[in-house]
Structure 1
Amino acid sequence: MVTRRRAICIGIDEYEGDGRLNLCVADATEMADYLRQPEYGFDVDLLVNQEANLPNIRRALLSVMNEDLEFFLFYFSGHGMVTDLDAFLVTVDFQPLAEGISLADLARYTERISERTQNCLTILDCCHSGAGQFGEGRRLITPEEVDRGLPARTESRSLLAACRPEQVAIEDSRYGHGLFTYMLLQGLSGDAADPQGNITVGGLSEFVDRNLESAGAEQIAVMKGDFAGRVIVGSGFSPISTNRLPEYEKKRIVAQGKQFLEDYTSQLVNHPEDWRKYGHKNASLLLPRTLRWFENRRREHKDLRTDAEFSQLYAAVTNRVKQLAEIDLGTDVNEGEVVRRIGGGGFGTVYEVACPDGTKLAYKVYHPTQYGDAEKKSLFSRGYKAMQQLDHPRVIKVKGYTDAPIGFFMEYVDGPNFRDLPNIIEDPVEILRFLLLTAETIAHAHSRPVIHRDIKPENILAEYRADDNTWIPYLTDFDLAWFDQATQVTKQAWGNLSYSAPEQMANPRSAAAHSARVDIYAFAQLAFFAVTGSDPIPVGRADNGRLLQEKLNSWPVGAAARKFMSWYDRCSQSDPYERYSNFRATMDELAGVEVMIRGASSTKVTLRGALNEIAFALSGFGAAGEVDAAGGAFYSTSGRTSIVLSANNLHSSAGEDVFDLEARLSLDRITIEGNSSNERKRATINSRMDEVIRSMVGVKRKPGNQGSFETFVSVSGVQCGYDGIQRARLVLTHVIEAIERT
């Protein structure tokens, strides 16, 4: 039986000139995320911006055309255009007389695909430019042209378009999506489920129509297609009944709710000492079951949400959850005894927990006064999920989530946050070392990809290493994080004014506010704090620049100070597209500043010193200074890639020692997502590495044959100085990132 499902999701923001859009990539990316979930089970080809050119789209359609499928879905968010000859979905490589993929061509592809596919669904949200024009003498595509170009001829082919012919599709930054796509995603999240827990094409269309009308939108979605029965897009959701509950059934549910609440209350203890010793812990174990029962009933039967008696019971349950968030010192919780209040922030209070085995954990508990803020609660939970995805040794690890109270346990770091360090680090080399170690954790998060969105001194914990008199940074607090599996963009402007990017505060729903560039901006402000000891002035680039320049005047290398100033200025641009394009490039430029200072302070570097500097760049303190010319083995900072460095052909050139560097890189286990064979996964990794080193002079790669994955990367003519160290570092960090990317 054919069960495989394929989808192509396309989103384009980066059109040239006035044609640029803002939210289409967010539309397509989140659409792809939903379709990949188990309830839908689609294999998704996601093409955004420069990837969404005409050859790539045709290539993706051709690959689908040759498969036997149960369901095919095509989604497009971008510009639509009509010429005298045809209607087009405008691709990123738009040119006059080559506007993109025509609806006639798309219809031909879809018809061929439908010969071997049971169900085909085309979804178009392509009037995002509003009432404006894209290209001289051309008008926007409308569903009228869509209807002509993509006829739905059988029950297995259907079309869902964003608006009627006389209307335009609305792009609203408050939603972080086109309005049509926002409603579509709400339906896909489960809100369009039927009483059997299925989401059908017809039900999804009805849900979008109903919600566009409720929102007062001057936009009506267009659905075309005749179905012989229901076409199920997704299944396994909580059933939602649109029918009113009979009075006797409502009374039965209310009586059952009362009994649940009485059973819970009867097991509570009132004596303060008993409550701290075992009452709080027992309540935390008992209450989640009751809470889930109430939430499931509210979801299944919408009219219960407005029923006064049921709502009163539900409020009583949530009040008991809030009471559990008020934790006294000496209280036993799931993992141990609460011994100290560490601190708090905008989302919760953090406690130190002493575990029975003598170890310590931190317990972050959501603020009980903000239980009514649904978005903030969702962000708190999302922060936990973001931290779950990361395995860098200097990203705080989470240990378990609790529903009553809402909170989670995490790794305990014995040290202050960066703001509370006893003394601001003053040596420029140590400042840059601390910042680069911090940057490494952010780059790791981005490789997953997780965008932190709240980088500031309070969210960098510091642990002191007495053996080398060094502070080591740890990245924490991902409450505002954004990642591929997140199901909703941030609606409100959360963040610290001194560190949050302008687009994050002014337009929190936009795609730009959820991009890597917000972390680039915030990291630059963290660097400002590290150098000056004070917070930057919000949107005060001129004042910040003067103070920073005053502090940089004391740096020993003027060229390095000027390079740092230029780096900070670019990272702090108000327009996110004028900053560095990705965090790795940001980090590489800052590393170049460190190289300039170190190079000026050291006249000569030995071979062993050079190898250990390269090892430190790849592993932090993991290499422990044990690398020499004969070799040295250690792991990358993530702990995933085993690295062996060796030096050959040491000789002198122009009075400086030069050597050839070889790095053996291997993985014990390949963790690329998907069910393909190890051979396919190895081919994917090799392709990524080859793409990285293609433009690098003097760099070669040869495959190995040991274990799950092995390769050798050689860098010829490496100088025993900080320019050579920087060159080797850039090569190997980029290659390792290509290996470890999931």
Structure 2
Amino acid sequence: MVARRRAICIGIDEYEGEARLDLCVADATEVADYLRQPEYGFDVELLANQEANLPNIRRALLSVMNEELEFFLLYFSGHGMVTELDAFLVTIDYQPLAEGVSLADLARYTEKISRNTKHCLTILDCCHSGAGQFGQSRQLVTPEEIDRGIPARTESRSLLAACRPEQVAIEDSRYGHGLFTYMLLEGLSGDAADPHGNITVGGLSDFIDRNLEAMGAEQIAVMKGDSAGRVILGQGFSPIAVDNLPEYEKKRIIAQGKQFLEDYTSQLTNHPEDWRNHGHRTASQLLPPTLRWFERQRREHKDLRVDAEFSQLYAAVTNRVKQLAEIDLGTDVEEGVVTRRIGGGGFGTVYEVQRANGERLAYKVYHPTEYGDSEKKSLFSRGYKAMQQLDHPRVIKVKKYTEAPIGFFMEYVDGPNFRDLPNIIEGPVEVLQFLLLTAETIAHAHSRPVIHRDIKPENILAVYRADDNTWIPYLTDFDLAWFDQATQVTKQAWGNISYSAPEQMANPRSAAAHSAQVDTYAFAQLAFYAVTGSDPVPVGRADNSRLLQEKLNSWPVGAAARKFVDWYDRCSQSRPYDRYANFRSAMDELADVEAMIRRANSTTVTPRVALNEIAFALSGFGAAGKIDVSGGAFHSTSGRTSIALTASNVQPSTHGDKFDLEARLSLDRITIEGNASNERKRARINNRIDEVVRSMEGVRRKPGNQGTFETFISISSVECGYAGIQRARLSLSHVIEAIERT
């Protein structure tokens, strides 16, 4: 059995008054995100702001003390303080004579933890320039006090602090972190890896020192403790060689590179017609192995990166890849013939490709002018991987990825993007239904969990359905997406400034910039565009609200218009935690607005109309008008869950009829991963459903026994009106989400 790795990450910004800090929670959150990744494998407890009080920190340390661990790591970013009695890491519940965790106490905790733990590492970034004082007789803690308070006596106990005693640590908003933690994160991302692909404690310290010095920073990180035994913090990264290659080995590699390049060039044709007919396809198949060989050599041998002759060969290879990205119409590529240029964006150009059987595909090719931007190339590849994880019928499906040129084939959708539609979709109900169908695709992505991070009109395609005069949205372009398996956070601010959340632009490396809240913000701006036909002002929330109110004067229901403005204001709050708790909650509130408008002509409806309204909410236009009181079957919007609704026990009431609703929900295929039996997977799904319905009044689950998975949800006394429809819609949509969650 492999011993566990545990980490406690603490970040505090919300000190009172002038003592408030800005970047410490971002520091701790992102360190925690890295430590959770498979390369490190830590179970992380994050304590931020109000959670980082003295009792919680003590509880967390005591819980670690009783475990047998392979590695324990403590990270702290916040204020430090020195009093006449001791040095302290200042907690959020600071009071005079109860300042926080003393370094003497921390030393005792570390001593006891190390009895059952092979390696202990303490990382402290608590000396901030310009930070407020807590009193005239107090000063910020320095590594001198840390050095006295936390002795590191063995190789298994190490301390890494932000600066030397006579210095202060620098907090720079350009990096979104304290400078020490910024360099720490660069190292954790893999840049501090050794020739074996490992990140050691000593190697991480050396990396931080080198880079602080290279930046000219007036601070030097302090490392105390003996890590000569190669204490491995993370592993599985791309190896980075330290020793220079022997001259004969360098010559051998360069000669081999020349031969690869000559072999590739000799098999190509220069005739334009031959190039379009088969040359481009041949080059796309021959070049990737050569490219991968060159990139491996550069990754594994650092001195080759600065060798002029090898660099010239590598540039020649990458130039050939760039040439393949310049595609003429009529060119035969791997999946067919390029018939037209569809459009382009910040990451690539999209072409229409026709296969021999007549099937059309879209081919997105990375911009050849951006090949030198390694982060942007990585994001492009990550967008493809994000789309691979999604199987919603209205999320564009990706197919084959190509290395030369960098690009991928995907499903072709014949329709304009939403930028061209506001003057076509005008009615408030139609606009809201289009937005709700878009929101459902975003919610599906979040359930995987994939955060899109670039919701804007250009990334919503629309297909016109003539039989019911309806535009259906498709979600595409996941170049900025973030998901659990992604191994590197975005370092630069990407996205459209009118649609990107403030935290995404101001602090792109932060965990907040990679959370679902950025999609909530962007979706609200998309809704603004849908209603007004113009882009929102990036920093003018009040101006946006005023324009919304002017446009909404034509809505038939004033209460719905007011509710929409309130919804927009909440979704577009500057601080993520002031928005809705999750995207599903924001989506539910918008559905409430849409339902208010549709019920304007009648406060009560027949049971049949009520059933059809519920079916529309669960399936979109596919089920509209098809459900009778005696029953009707359709599928959820994802197409994965089969739904049958039945109304019974209809009871007249002074406020309209009431009825009991039963929904049969079934799956043809269970998509939960793992080797468990179907019986155990069914039990897992039923447990999820029980968790959801437990808090819902009048809602019960009854087991089914047909097919792969079947269950029945009964809802008693559903009112034939707006409130009853919303109650049933919310109950069943949350149950379906629990069923379809992987």
Normalised to the residue count of structure 2, the TM-score between the two structures is: 0.88
CA distances 1:40-95 after superposition (whole Å, capped 9, x unpaired): 34444455566666666566555544544333333344455556666555566767
Distance 1:521 1:198, change over 3 A: closer
Aligned to 1:40: 40
SS in 1 for 2:330: coil
Distance 2:487 2:42 in 1: 17
Distance 1:93 1:643, change over 3 A: farther
State how many pairs are aligned: 741
CA distances 1:458-511 after superposition (whole Å, capped 9, x unpaired): 110001222222111111112223344444444444333433344544554555
Question: Quick one: which amino acid aligns to residue 564 of structure 2?
Answer: F
Aligned to 1:345: 345
Distance 1:179 1:247 in 2: 38
Aligned to 2:583: 583
CA contact (8 A) 1:463 1:471 kept: yes
Counterparts of 1:191-270 in structure 2 under 5 Å? Answer: 191-227=191-227, 229-270=229-270
CA contact (8 A) 1:344 1:350 kept: yes
Distance 2:680 2:74 in 1: 26
Distance 1:495 1:236, change over 3 A: closer
Aligned to 1:524: 524
Distance 2:277 2:688 in 1: 55
Mean Cα displacement is larger for which, 368-377 or 400-409?
A: 368-377
Q: Report deviation, 1:268.
A: 1.0
Question: Quick one: which amino acid aligns to residue 409 of structure 2?
Answer: F
CA distances 1:647-675 after superposition (whole Å, capped 9, x unpaired): 45432333311234455666777767899
Alignment of 1:374 onto 2:374? yes
Give me the identity figure in percent: 83
CA contact (8 A) 2:8 2:60 kept: no
Aligned to 1:177: 177
Alignment of 1:8 onto 2:7? yes
SS in 1 for 2:536: coil
CA distances 1:247-277 after superposition (whole Å, capped 9, x unpaired): 3332222222211111111111112222122
Aligned to 2:618: 618
Q: Report deviation, 1:542.
A: 5.2
CA distances 1:626-655 after superposition (whole Å, capped 9, x unpaired): 555555555543455555544454323333
Mean Cα displacement is larger for which, 245-254 or 624-633?
A: 624-633
Distance 1:336 1:314 in 2: 29
Distance 1:385 1:46 in 2: 28
Q: Report deviation, 1:445.
A: 2.7
Distance 1:685 1:150, change over 3 A: farther
Distance 1:670 1:50 in 2: 41
Question: Quick one: which amino acid aligns to residue 371 of structure 2?
Answer: Y
Distance 1:329 1:578, change over 3 A: same
SS in 1 for 2:651: strand
CA contact (8 A) 2:68 2:117 kept: yes
Distance 1:593 1:81, change over 3 A: farther
Aligned to 2:455: 455
Structure 2: gaps spanning 5 or more residues: none
CA distances 1:167-200 after superposition (whole Å, capped 9, x unpaired): 4433333333332232223223332222333222
SS in 1 for 2:426: coil
SS in 1 for 2:467: coil
Distance 1:358 1:647, change over 3 A: same
Distance 1:359 1:536, change over 3 A: same
Distance 2:67 2:682 in 1: 24
Q: Report deviation, 1:166.
A: 4.0
CA contact (8 A) 1:424 1:533 kept: no
Distance 1:72 1:626 in 2: 59
CA contact (8 A) 1:173 1:510 kept: no
Distance 1:731 1:229 in 2: 57
Question: Quick one: which amino acid aligns to residue 390 of structure 1?
Answer: L
Q: Report deviation, 1:289.
A: 1.5
Distance 1:682 1:67 in 2: 34
Distance 1:433 1:127, change over 3 A: farther
Distance 1:92 1:616 in 2: 48
Distance 1:273 1:685, change over 3 A: same
CA contact (8 A) 1:7 1:43 kept: yes
CA contact (8 A) 1:598 1:722 kept: no
Distance 1:96 1:645 in 2: 63
Q: Report deviation, 1:384.
A: 2.0
Aligned to 1:404: 404
CA contact (8 A) 1:33 1:484 kept: no
Distance 1:32 1:622, change over 3 A: farther
Alignment of 1:659 onto 2:656? no
SS in 2 for 1:464: strand
Q: Report deviation, 1:600.
A: 0.8
CA contact (8 A) 1:176 1:489 kept: no
Alignment of 1:723 onto 2:712? no
Distance 1:656 1:374, change over 3 A: same
Distance 1:470 1:58, change over 3 A: farther
Aligned to 2:599: 599
Normalised to the residue count of structure 1, the TM-score between the two structures is: 0.88
Distance 1:416 1:97, change over 3 A: farther
CA contact (8 A) 2:619 2:634 kept: yes
Aligned to 2:299: 299
Distance 1:491 1:53 in 2: 30
CA distances 1:23-46 after superposition (whole Å, capped 9, x unpaired): 445444443443344433444445
Distance 1:538 1:37, change over 3 A: closer
Distance 1:531 1:99 in 2: 52
SS in 2 for 1:132: coil
Q: Report deviation, 1:331.
A: 1.7
CA distances 1:202-254 after superposition (whole Å, capped 9, x unpaired): 11111111112212223322222224622222333333222333333322222
Question: Quick one: which amino acid aligns to residue 474 of structure 1?
Answer: Y
Aligned to 2:385: 385
Distance 1:114 1:427, change over 3 A: same
Alignment of 1:426 onto 2:403? no
SS in 2 for 1:653: coil
Q: Report deviation, 1:717.
A: 3.3
CA distances 1:299-346 after superposition (whole Å, capped 9, x unpaired): 222222222222111111111010000111222222222222111112
Distance 1:6 1:336 in 2: 50
SS in 2 for 1:467: helix
Distance 1:521 1:71, change over 3 A: closer
Counterparts of 1:633-644 in structure 2 under 5 Å? Answer: 634-639=634-639, 643=643
Alignment of 1:435 onto 2:435? yes
Structure 1: gaps spanning 5 or more residues: none
Aligned to 1:478: 478
Distance 1:677 1:115 in 2: 41
Question: Quick one: which amino acid aligns to residue 297 of structure 2?
Answer: R
Mean Cα displacement is larger for which, 259-268 or 137-146?
A: 137-146
Distance 1:143 1:670 in 2: 55
Mean Cα displacement is larger for which, 186-195 or 268-277?
A: 186-195
Mean Cα displacement is larger for which, 31-40 or 129-138?
A: 129-138
Distance 1:162 1:321, change over 3 A: same
SS in 2 for 1:717: strand
Distance 1:390 1:371, change over 3 A: same
Distance 1:132 1:289, change over 3 A: farther
CA distances 1:562-610 after superposition (whole Å, capped 9, x unpaired): 2222323333445555443432232222222112111113343222332
Mean Cα displacement is larger for which, 308-317 or 486-495?
A: 486-495
